[in-house]
Amino acid sequence: METYYGHVRTPGDAILLFEACRIGLLPRVQRRLSEKERLSIKSGSVFVWDEREAGMRRWTDGKSWSASRVSGSFLTYREMEGKRGGSTFSAAPKAPAAKDHDASDDGPDGYRYKPDGLI
């Protein structure tokens, strides 16, 4: 299911993955993931697909993601608590300010980044 398991640290790493997919050494995602496949995504799972071949422009995995942030040469997204979409996405309750509260855990509109969530 996943194309690669590991950490993509540099643009060179990404280029190697794309080239390995292009010449058939690594598999590309051919379709949207099943629910079972989505549940097996873990830190280090890397997926590569061709928009035309897979028939999908955007990645969907059922998780709620933050807006993109520039991190070096990459755009990164952080996993958020809750689910997106209408009334099913609920913000984490606001807790009173505490000494150990890290404001960097707050996402847009009071939503919170998922502790130990995927990036």
**pTM of the predicted protein model:** 0.74
Cβ–Cβ < 8 Å for 44, 79: no
Q: Give the whole-number percent of the chain exceeding pLDDT 90.
A: 65
**Over the stretch 35-77, which tens digit does the pLDDT of each residue have?**
999 999 999 999 999 999 999 999 899 999 999 999 999 999 9
Pairing of strands 69-71, 74-76: antiparallel
Per-residue confidence (pLDDT) for residue 64, from 0 to 100: 93
Domain spans in the chain, listed from the N-terminal domain onward: 1-51, 62-119
Beta carbons within 10 angstroms of residue 112's beta carbon: 17
Q: Which residues, including other chains, have CB under 8 Å from residue 78's CB and lie 6 or more apart? A: 65, 66, 69, 107, 113, 114, 117, 118, 119
Per-residue confidence (pLDDT) for residue 47, from 0 to 100: 96
